[in-house]
Chains A and B, each alone.
Chain A
């Protein structure tokens, strides 16, 4: 990416370079997602001092530490709950959650659906690599049917969640999905999420080449990423097509938006009215 079409964006300005080299595997899509996120942050002119990154446990949970910002690496599944407290206490901060398919949809599933319902101004970036990579490749809520993992030795027989349908159904203000292959589109999607005044749920189709790809003979990173771009999942991906399960065809872009009052501003307005202040935000 040369400087002209990256609009003066220099990723090194946003990274903790003394932590390099990073610990992500060769071919992992998480680094591309990180680049797209920081690119969006740059284009929106968000100050690093006011940027708070909250992440949970897993490969996705380790991405945040590389960002030169206020970064919080909390308990498994709880980054959305932690971020809820942080954003309510400090509405001046730009709060971004970086989570994964296991962190967000399995152990943290309850927090996701209520974050969608509450509509507090947080941007949630779920890096979906379809597997528990950090722990060695166990089945996750987004692992495709029939796939081999270390805990589905005969192939996965559970249907995979469509996380975006779940977020939409539970009321998220803004819902979108993008693949890592389309980095500028991913950057634009993240920008929309950051600009949205409310809860935005963004699913990034990442790829776990080293563990999931190898186990299922999905080829090298480039092949896995190209498979995302083709918009088509393997035939075996899902035999169930009704919501909220993953359909064969992977749809990207903004998938849902509904303009609802942002929770924090509503609460502060109510409180100001109780106190008889005229300083409400609405």
Chain B
């Protein structure tokens, strides 16, 4: 296996990862701090036979992505908070109609227009609950430029495997980092291709309850001539408000996540085996936390870090397994307290769970975290 080392900008790594994953359609709308993804895609896609289009707004961008993916092409868009808000209805359509797609959301200070050039992790809960109704969600939060590349590829794989939208949550710091990255030879990448429906159309059910819960997708032109709708629909694809059908088909969408958990969940544990103070953090905050944990260890404090890479579904069992000797949990994040709610849900009844929050558009420094670790350790 050969590999190339190059200096790469976080947002460019996302574009390069997408191309490597087989993405051949990008529709977007300019928005800080994600625009470099669109710019890079506009240059790369025509070279590989793909299509880039700058649409008239954020909603059009995600709608065009769903159209292209329905046509059989791996597709993505990129945006930031305000655009992510606008895209939510169509992300719901992607979940409901089981149209694979990837949405990169570079988180900036909010609410509203907020601080366009400043970092945040304020969209963690929007990624989970932003679109109405009960729907399956996968969201990934890389913490380095290399990981942006890898997780973008993984986002496409999960999206194609489970026929659903996958959200990439970058904070502005990691998306604008310039880091040396070793890119694997493309031929060594493990890529997942969508299962396409084949065969005679007479008895075909486009939303059938298959063994793994993910029905093969009909591709226009292949002769199956099916109906796709955002309305609650039966296995045949046509609208139904039958209570039994509605329960069955909605539950199948949610079960795709439960069945795939082991495959979907990704996380890292650092020094968690004997950790009394466990830090849980993602994205750039996790890198600060990693440094803080090292500093604490140097001072003899048994600190550890649990870093979820998959935020949704949250790697719940892995976190529980990492609790070990934990007496307190610290959750540093660039928001007023979002990830901490999930940690409290999972282990708040047994342990003290504390947030460390910044909502001022500044990244959290290692010193802030190490100081808090020391306080929690009673030193």
Contact = CB atoms under 8 A, between A and B. Distances in A.
Interface string B228-245: 111100000011000000
B230 A85 contact: no
Given A65-B238, A93-B220, A88 B68 contact: yes
A32 interface: no
A90 B71 contact: yes
State the 9 A-B residue pairs at the shortest beta-carbon distance, nearest first. Answer: A85-B67, A85-B64, A271-B46, A86-B67, A81-B63, A89-B68, A89-B71, A70-B220, A90-B71
Interface in A32-48: 48
A270 B71 contact: no
A271 B49 contact: yes
Nearest to B57: A110
A72 interface: yes
Interface centre among A77, A84, A270 (most CB of B within 10 A): A84
B227 A85 contact: no
24 contacts: A49-B223, A50-B220, A70-B220, A70-B221, A71-B227, A73-B228, A73-B229, A75-B90, A75-B93, A81-B63, A84-B53, A85-B64, A85-B65, A85-B75, A86-B220, A88-B51, A88-B64, A89-B68, A90-B221, A93-B221, A110-B60, A267-B51, A270-B46, A271-B49
A144 interface: no
Contact of A81 (B67, B225, B231): B67
Contacts of A85: 25, 27, 53, 63-71, 75
A74 interface: yes
Interface string B22-63: 001101000000000000000001110101010111011101
Interface of B: 24-25, 27, 45-47, 49, 51, 53, 55-57, 59-61, 63-73, 75, 89-90, 93, 218, 220-223, 225-231, 238-239
Contacts of A275: 46-47, 49
Interface in A62-117: 65, 68-75, 77-78, 81-90, 92-93, 110-111, 113-114
A210 B72 CA distance: 40
Contact of A274 (B27, B46, B63): B46
Contact of B64 (A82, A90, A267): A82
B268 to A, nearest CB: 36
Nearest to A68: B225
Q: Interface of chain A, helix or strand or loop or mixed? A: helix
Interface in A101-136: 110-111, 113-114
B89 A75 contact: yes
A175 interface: no
B225 A89 contact: no
Contacts of A75: 63, 89-90, 93, 230
A19 B238 contact: yes
B238 A81 contact: no
A189 interface: no
